[in-house]
Structure 1
């Protein structure tokens, strides 16, 4: 091996690295730019099948990997955000979304007649402009644009590097014979596509390399390119399959649906192409360029989606047969964390915008648990119930655990590629989790005041005291409920209601304190119960303060 050969090898490796990094950088920049749009896409997931396909295609076009999209789908299903039926649509759309990268690669490999319009010509300029924006612009939006430009430029430069490095060798007989072998043996061709994609963890990247080889040497035959493309679709399932190991049965089923869909498509098309090439050998042995690969890749995924859409229910049923187990068994196998923390899944971190929205869902879920515990505590105050008090203690431990786990998840999100608005939301979520946990502490304080030893006297209040407590409890509960609703819906109306209820609670707490002190001075109630009464309304006022904080975070984000 000569020094020139070593240099070409290094150039090909460097080109592949630039191509992959360019895809990653461009993906990160687009995700920052599309932050709020990605949030809207998450809401569309609950819509019809057609919209699920559209979402899958758009998300894959943004993050440049159908494998990563399917990994997120596994996470969504595992978190209970998506059903298996909805997952089918997103998975189908993900395959369509990979075609975007193929067409981008095709643009970079236009012929000499279109040299002036070739992105490769402008790639260095894109990198230069992008670098200047990143280094010298103080505005986050311009820096994000710079990130996209650098990624796009490196992608095309990487493709050129790979093409130049490989071009000197593709005319060797060994490459010609290899592609002839892949083209004449569909099983081998598909297997090569599976292996290369599994190694690169991206069908978009694998097809991009194939297009580069096709454009550089002209040795890639139509049959070999088509079989390898079919294999790359199957190879994209490897990441999701590995990701689903050890997760819920529905998570495993979503990965199996992806595999089944792609394997069936490859089998049908592979068989049809094999028959066609037997009758028309010239079709299989003719050369193919990057545009031809893009056309085939697009038609294949579109046709598979159209044909398989009426069978999506069958795909779900088949996944149930392959991954056995019912809902009751699923519930029994889940840990307490899995049941409580429904929306947190590290796979969703693949797309920061979705990760932020899922963190919001989990914070809201924590708020609902705290509110249910508050209701139990209020019932125990009005009508002493030892079992309810014990349940409050148990739930408070769950809330404390949720605070720790959600905070850890938020730390992971804060290290992702976020825009300014998303950073603000994540910071507010840190504070929100702390406020909800403090609400839980105050609820526990209230039941501790009511909890008495077996030989002790129960805490009782006069009829007037009970009415006063019922009044302030109603206001506090409404305040907290609307604060959680404000976060969930990003509703200014709900946040303003919290402000109103907070003022009412503050005024009422002062009024009730004065009334109760007067009752104590007139000896109209038991001193022990009187102290408990004052401590209870003090804790209630503090709960309202934390609700006010929660609403304030939402208001500051507008």
Structure 2
């Protein structure tokens, strides 16, 4: 019975440690996610800066896995280059050694059970008393995470101590330490944390369950096993995400193989240079040493590694979404950037759909410096476009974007974050309205294109004018054209004038008895549709652009 109790305690200690690591990652991710994004975007211009970003970010997050996943997300959102992400991955391998140092120095140099209880108590009480929207809730959560990590570590240490007293290690020991590398690799792949695996090795070494050689080989295997997280995170992503994961695998695998080939030489070096320190700290030194050596070997070849990985994982099929499909909602600060880019992509699709509907070629026409009348006279041929399929793709894109935004709202309870998210969701709603309006007008546009009377042709040209004018104004404003933004009131007044002109044309249509009476109703409906389209696009600008004083006129 006592034998089972020992292993239950060891298993429970491991569970506490893993949960503490996961909880700590989550709390730091929510409290420092925005800072991480800003650091990455401002500090990845050179290989060296990217390397430092990887080191310090991993030291901050206490997890190379979370930094690797964030790097994958940034690449997926096209906010970071492939080269920069590879440099960050190299740096994260050095940064992850910080956990081993913390465990070695704090976890095995003092009895930390009482300290763990105190930290968990303070953190837990602070979380209960903090409001959901407060950052302090996350900060207190970080304390709870650290407390759980060290409480779990203490549990493992005590149970391994009992194992050492009750079992003859020589019966279970392998004849070669290389088997322990395989165990370290397998365990890390299963529990998805090299830090936890290395802490287990440190606990076993501290209690003399395994020797230093076995622990060193175990750590090398754990370093290779951590690549599984990146490989899983890259599944279904864009080619560059898969290339980053592949580069991570190549780096860790090559570093691990070299370390195992020169295992005894590295162990001898550590033993001679640091003979005065205990084995647990020596493992932290060993872990740091082979990771630093690996980075020194690979750092000059980052460009080569980038070029090599670009030979693989070419895009084979198109997806409905372009950005959000590559970024997990579990990384909310990066995910919202991907969402913004996806909405911009959706906006572009809606603009192109509207232009195609009036037989104007996108996006070339938006760059032409011609008067609208001349553009309309230039492009008079009817396009052979399957409009229903174009609209179906837009509708799918709208749905996926809206769903992604909804999922994001459940993973971050920050008030400002959700305020921004609500605005983005409103943009999707307005874009959906604009696309639906154009879709509903397709039959009427085709009818007026093929009409013969002067009044119907004039009405058709007026519809085209209003749609094109609206898209031009919207496009320039979205690009940040200050003059265009200042002139929006005047532009929309012109659209209003065009609306009045449409009313006069409709009266002429109604007077002409050669035109079927239902065409008058059709024209009235189209007139209101144009107004709805204009208002939907205009509402997006109100969400996107802050104008003070007598800026945009809200009535349209």
Instruction: Indicate conservation of the 8 Å contact 1:68/1:239, yes or no.
Output: no
How far off is 1:70 after superposition?
A: 3.5
How far off is 1:460 after superposition?
A: 7.0
Q: SS where residue 345 of structure 1 aligns? A: helix
State how far apart, in whole Å, the 1-side matches of 2:53 and 2:171 are. 41
1:449 aligns with: 444
Change (3 A) 1:222 1:146: same
- Kindly tell me the number of residue pairs found equivalent between the two proteins: 526
State how far apart, in whole Å, the 2-side matches of 1:347 and 1:96 are. 25
1:427 aligns with: 422
2:254 aligns with: 264
Alignment partner of 1:232 is 2:222? yes
Change (3 A) 1:499 1:66: same
Alignment partner of 1:197 is 2:192? no
Change (3 A) 1:45 1:465: farther
State how far apart, in whole Å, the 2-side matches of 1:552 and 1:176 are. 74
Which protein has the bigger helix share? 1
1:27 aligns with: 25
How far off is 1:531 after superposition?
A: 6.8
Instruction: Indicate conservation of the 8 Å contact 1:203/1:235, yes or no.
Output: yes
Change (3 A) 1:281 1:108: closer
1:291 aligns with: 281
How far off is 1:404 after superposition?
A: 1.3
Q: SS where residue 168 of structure 1 aligns? A: helix
Deviations along 1:462-496, one digit per CA (max 9) or x if unpaired, are 7799579637742453235535x58xxxxxx97x9
Q: SS where residue 324 of structure 2 aligns? A: coil
Change (3 A) 1:284 1:319: farther
State how far apart, in whole Å, the 1-side matches of 2:308 and 2:497 are. 65
How far off is 1:203 after superposition?
A: 0.9
How far off is 1:552 after superposition?
A: 4.1
State how far apart, in whole Å, the 2-side matches of 1:417 and 1:106 are. 34
**Aligned counterparts, 1:56-135, within 5 A:** 56-74=54-72, 77=75, 82-112=80-110, 121-135=114-128
**Aligned counterparts, 1:339-418, within 5 A:** 340-345=320-325, 348-380=328-360, 382=376, 383-387=379-383, 390=385, 392-418=387-413
Deviations along 1:107-152, one digit per CA (max 9) or x if unpaired, are 432535xx7xxx6543222211222222222352222222112112
User: Is the deviation greater in 241-250 or in 294-303?
Assistant: 241-250
Alignment partner of 1:543 is 2:537? no
Instruction: Indicate conservation of the 8 Å contact 2:10/2:156, yes or no.
Output: yes
Change (3 A) 1:24 1:442: same
Structure 2, unaligned runs of 5 or more: 361-374, 549-556
**Please, what is the CA RMSD of the aligned residues?**
3.9
State how far apart, in whole Å, the 2-side matches of 1:546 and 1:371 are. 12
Q: SS where residue 348 of structure 1 aligns? A: coil
Q: SS where residue 47 of structure 1 aligns? A: coil
**Aligned counterparts, 1:467-478, within 5 A:** 470=465, 473-478=468-473
1:211 aligns with: 202
How far off is 1:265 after superposition?
A: 0.9
How far off is 1:500 after superposition?
A: 6.3
State how far apart, in whole Å, the 1-side matches of 2:36 and 2:270 are. 46
Change (3 A) 1:63 1:405: farther
Q: SS where residue 349 of structure 1 aligns? A: coil
2:497 aligns with: 511
State how far apart, in whole Å, the 2-side matches of 1:471 and 1:553 are. 22
1:310 aligns with: 300
Q: Give the alignment's TM-score, normalised by structure 2.
A: 0.81
Q: SS where residue 394 of structure 1 aligns? A: helix
State how far apart, in whole Å, the 1-side matches of 2:305 and 2:246 are. 9
How far off is 1:373 after superposition?
A: 2.4
State how far apart, in whole Å, the 1-side matches of 2:239 and 2:285 are. 37
Structure 1, unaligned runs of 5 or more: 487-492
1:162 aligns with: 156
1:490 aligns with: none
Change (3 A) 1:253 1:291: same
Instruction: Indicate conservation of the 8 Å contact 1:12/1:166, yes or no.
Output: yes
Q: Give the alignment's TM-score, normalised by structure 1.
A: 0.80
State how far apart, in whole Å, the 1-side matches of 2:270 and 2:280 are. 22
Instruction: Indicate conservation of the 8 Å contact 2:459/2:505, yes or no.
Output: no
State how far apart, in whole Å, the 1-side matches of 2:204 and 2:98 are. 18
How far off is 1:175 after superposition?
A: 3.2
1:489 aligns with: none
User: Is the deviation greater in 36-45 or in 466-475?
Assistant: 466-475
Change (3 A) 1:553 1:177: farther
Deviations along 1:382-418, one digit per CA (max 9) or x if unpaired, are 3444326x35543222110011112222233223244
How far off is 1:36 after superposition?
A: 2.3
**Aligned counterparts, 1:457-536, within 5 A:** 457=452, 466=461, 470=465, 473-479=468-474, 482-483=477-478, 501=488, 503-504=489-490, 506-518=492-504, 521=507, 535-536=525-526
